Every structure is written in C-alpha cells, then in structure tokens.
Amino acid sequence: MEYFKKLLELLKTEREEDLRSYLQLTESSSVAERRSNGLSWYPIAIRGSEMSRGDYLTVEIERTTHQELAHQLRFGASAVLFSNHDPKDRVEGTITHQSGNKLKITLKTDELPDWTRDGKLGIDVLFDNNSYDEMQAALKHAASSIEKTDQSRLIKILTGEGSPTFSDQIHHYEIAGLNEVQQQAVNKIVSAQELAIVHGPPGTGKTTTLVQAIKALFKQNHQQILVVAPSNTAVDLLTEKLDEEGLNVVRVGNPARVSDRLLSLTLDGKMSEHPSMKQIRAFKKQANEFKNMAHKYKRNFGRAEKEQRKALFDEAHKIMKEVGNTEQYIIDDVLGKAQVVTATLVGANHYTVRNLKFHTLVIDEAGQALEPACWIPIMKAQKVIFAGDHCQLSPTIKSNEAAKSGLSTTLLEKSIALHPESVTLLEEQYRMNKTIMGYSSKVFYENKLKAHGSVADRLLFSEDSPLAFVDTAGCGFEEKLEGTSSTNPEEAAFLFKHLTQLVATLGGHYTTETFPTIAVISPYKQQILLMKELLLNSAALQQYGERISVNTIDSFQGQERDLVYISMTRSNNEGIIGFLSDIRRMNVAMTRARKKLVVIGDSATLSRLPFYADFIDYAEENNAYQSAWEFAEL
C-alpha cells in the first residue's frame, strides 16, 4: 500500500542520516571524545556476572570516574564491552538494566573473555538498529494486514480509508473531580469502537483525564490495556498514577527515575517477588558452580579434561534451559494478572510482551511520537486512544529531508485532521494566569482555552503584573555564534540583573521555604550554559537553591513554575531567528509559568516573524511592554 511504502522510504532516509551522524561521532574518535559525547562509559569495573537466558552471560558494570557526564546508555540499547588495549577485544550485547552509574549488559557469549581481566575496560553504545528494525517490521506488518486481519478496520481508519464508529450504548462513568469537558473525553473514549483522541493543551489535566479513562475502560470490559508513550519519563508518570488509582499495573522496561515505588511496579521488580524466583536463584547458583568447575580445566588440557569440561558445560546449559522455562512461566503469570501494561513505543515489542495482544491501546504524548514507532504497539490492538498536543514539541528528527517530506507530521496530527469527530479538546486550564494563557490560546487553540477560577487572576503578589516583554532593541546586545549554538552574553547578564531585582522584591512577600519556583529558559544550549554560570556566581540567587533552575525549553515540557524567564537570545541586523521560528517550541516555553512570564528579546530581530510581532502587540495591549532602557540603572 502506497501509504506505508512512503513511510518506509522516509524511515530509511532517517535511519541513514542517523547512522551517518553516529559514525561521524565515533569512527575516528578517541575513547575520551566518545565519553564526552555520551556514547561511552570508560573506565568501568565489572562488579559481578551470572548466566542468563539463552546461555548468555549478564554482567554488572559500574563506571568508576566521570560520573557526572550525561550519556546515552539506556535499557534496550545495543552496546559493546571493549578493552582499550586492543581494538579486536570486544564483545557485543544488550543493556538490560541501567540506573545511576551501574548497568547490566547481557553479552552474546557464555563466559567472559580472558582479556576482561586486564583492565582498561569500557562500554560503547552502538547504533540503535533495533528501534529502526522494529519500526520497519511494524510498517511492513501493517501494510500486509490491511486487508486480512481483525485489525484491518483500525488500520484503514488511521490511514484515512475509513471512518471511526462509536457505540450508542454509552456507559456513563460519572467521575468526581473531572470538569465537564474532561468527563466528555472519558465518555468518548469509552464509547469509541476504534479511535478517540484527547487534545490536551498545557495545564488542562490531560494525564488526570487519561488515567480516569483507563480506569473506566477496564471497568467496561475487564480486558487488559496497553499504555505507551515515547519517553521513559512519561511512561513512569502514568505507571505511578495508574498504581495510585488501584490498578494492577506492570511497567515493562527500565524506568528513567529509580524510586523503590516505581521499581516495585516493573516486570523485573514483580518477578523478583514471585514465589518461583527462589527456584530460579537455586538453579542459577548450581549452573554457575558447574561453570566454575569447568573453568578449572582451562589451563591444563588433555582429552579427559576436555570431555570433563564439555560435560560440565552441558550440565550448566541444561540447567539454564530450565531457568529459561521457569522465567517464562513467571513472566506469563505476572503479565497475565496485570490490568494495565505500560512501556515505551519500542518497548511494547520487548521479548517479554512480543506475542501479547490487547483490545485497547493508549498512546500518551502522541504529539512527540514518531509515526513509524506508533505502529509497533498499534499492531497489537483493535482500538487506539491518542492523547497529546500537536501544538507543543514535535518528535526529534535527524534528517531534514525526511522531516520536510512528512516524517515530522505525527499520526496524532493526521488523525485530528482526518477524524475531528473523534477529538475532545480539553478547554479549561488549571495552571496559568489568564493573561499568560491568552496569546497561546489565540494562536494555537482558536481562543477556546479558559482559565479556571482558581488560577485566572493568580499573581506573585497583589501589585504585580502577570506578563512582561522586555525589549532590548537598540541596546547593542549582539548575539555571538559559539560552535553551532547562539549566545548573547549581554542579554544573559541583563536578564540576571532583572531577575535579581525581582527576587529582592519577592523577598518582602515570601520566606525562603515558601519562595516561588523560578525557571530561566532559552532555546539555545550555549545561552543556557552561560546563564547556569551566572546563577552559580550569584550569592543573592544561590540562597534559594533548587527553587531557581536554568535549562532548555525541551527539558521543561510537561513542567510548570511560578515565574518563568525566557531569554530569546537572537539579535542581529539581518533579522535571522533560526529555530526560534519553531513556534510550537515557543508555545511550550510561554505556557510553563503559573503567575508571571517575563520574555526578554530584541523586537527588531523578532518582529520579522508574525508570531513574535503579534506577541509584542499582545504585550502592549496588556500593558506588559517595557524597554530595557527603562532599566538602564540596573
């Protein structure tokens, strides 16, 4: 089918670009360069090993230095254990657990090679072929299933060849605490036969609505539900909320945040509590003993020793086969009792759940989900619920060509355009003062957003205003290019003077314990680094500790703060604004603040784009426009 053929071509383009940039980072780089790019842990120490499924060896590893560096070694990633003595000394495997500075990797071998005893060991993350293979297989599966399976109806609806239907026997689940539109969303989800969509703008209680809908779905037909999201963080949040509502939820995969509570909800956590686990531990101990005995024959070899060694290994393998069978029984038992299974999009095809089918699938944060990845879980279900906001951050795509040709358009966006009858827009928001909300509502949500009475007029203090645009035009704050990222040191310094003055004013209204939370954000990484440095060097701001944070817009998606400063950074005579033209990212930035939003930028540069010109007009209409010259004494 043409639809999937095109998607497969776009995915191929994206994979090639992703591989090209991976090779560029790794091909001729030293281990120190790979480490600073987040692709390596080096040096590492082996903390233990045990036999695991399929006669493979699982090794526990700890990174012993450079522990502060961010990295890309994640659950499910392909990686390689290597020796820095000799490039030939390497063995590949899959990361099966990662938390803090420790991880477990299952190696494609049944014993550790001799070179691992000589030190200088490290782990490199390999190119993520697995995710691309899973996406490609799902698209091919969908293309071949369009005519001949019980899923063909759902596939046709999602590709625009059919229309969704709704049951008229509506089970009304009146849910305390939901507003009218949230209740309508739950009713639509329950009555949908194939497709329902919850469009949740910032602060409208999308997660709350979704969790109640999942509860109602389970009450309706008592069938297991699969709940997925593109990021581990989003999956973790839903897992915890569903557990709080009393549902039996099992999280497949490794959570991003390691808390005892979350770990107890993972498949691994539930397996370790299973009564049959004792038997597995005993078997593994026995198998390891046989292997250790076999190793004694490593150095002095005669024929008898060779046979003895083989017999011991055979015995260990036989026991591990038994371990595999018992493990599978435990997995089936734990998953069989679950009411909800949660995973990432690609994690939905992890070997533990690969063959499971579900009646209903829920995809949260669907506005950030790459379409080919969505087809992985869709091929396990007959009905799908999308929840998200296509007016906020879109998926990360490496290839500009693939993005322009359609890969950046999500299945959520396509479905909203094709099937408006499936959509419920959550209209009441519980986060922002109405003036902070107003511009976003006008540009992105057809002026439909309403601020709930509890937040509509909230301010930092009674005489304050909720919005400020501080115009740096004519101040000579010139942007600079550092590497591929822009920075504007004078704007950053001005922002911190402005913030320090406001913090001093706030000191008269709050104690240190009740002090408002503050975020300083910018789209540019170099500007963030500069502002983090300014925060560290400010004694006046340091006293408030973690209440003041500096980070990129992307890292604040889904979060909120009392006061938000945005450093727009760009200021040049040509009016070039680079990726400030991604107005969906700016929508995220402008909707994080509860009580006050301060935007600092150069109107002469920004006004070249109608979005910013209109925002500056909006600020003027609301008496929120100021010139940086007014603060000349700062």
Give the 3-state secondary structure of residue 513.
coil
> What was the pLDDT predicted at 556?
85
> What was the pLDDT predicted at 633?
62
- Burial status of residue 29 (CB atoms within 10 A of its CB: 0-12, 13-18, 19 or more): middle
Q: Which residues contact 531 (CB under 8 A, 6 or more apart)?
A: 492, 495, 496, 520, 522, 550, 567
Q: Which residues in the chain come in under a pLDDT of 70?
A: 54, 149, 170-171, 297-301, 632-634
β-strands 450-451, 428-429: how paired?
parallel
> What was the pLDDT predicted at 297?
67
Domains 131-248+341-426 and 430-631 agree in fold:
yes
Residue owning tokens 């659950």 = 75
> What was the pLDDT predicted at 170?
66
Would you state the structure tokens that stand for residue 522, as one six-digit string?
Answer: 């910018």
Would you state the structure tokens that stand for residue 409, as one six-digit string?
Answer: 């358009």
DSSP string of 174-224? Answer: --TT--HHHHHHHHHHHHBSSEEEEE--TTS-HHHHHHHHHHHHHHHH---
* pTM (2 d.p.): 0.91
Peptide bond into 113 cis (omega under 30): no
Topology of domain 38-127 in CATH is Elongation Factor Tu (Ef-tu); domain 3 (2.40.30)
Contacts 24+ apart (CB under 8 A), 501-505: 501/634, 502/563, 502/598, 503/540, 503/541, 503/544, 504/540, 505/461
What distance in Å separates the CA atoms of residue 106 and residue 128, rounded to the nearest whole number?
16
Residue from 379, 312, 403 nearest 143 by CA: 379
User: Which CATH code fits 430-631?
Assistant: 3.40.50.300
Instruction: For residue 45, list its beta bridge partners.
Output: 62
Evaluate whether the domain defined by 131-248+341-426 bears CATH number 3.40.50.300: yes
> What was the pLDDT predicted at 575?
84
> What was the pLDDT predicted at 51?
81
Domain ranges of the chain: 38-127, 131-248+341-426, 273-335, 430-631
Phi-psi bin for 10: left (phi > 0), alpha (psi -120 to 50), beta? Answer: alpha
Q: What is the pLDDT of residues 115-154, one digit of tens each?
A: 998 888 999 999 999 999 999 999 999 999 887 767 789 9
CA angle, residues 30, 31, 32, in degrees to nearest 5: 90
Residue from 527, 449, 464 nearest 204 by CA: 449
> What was the pLDDT predicted at 257?
76
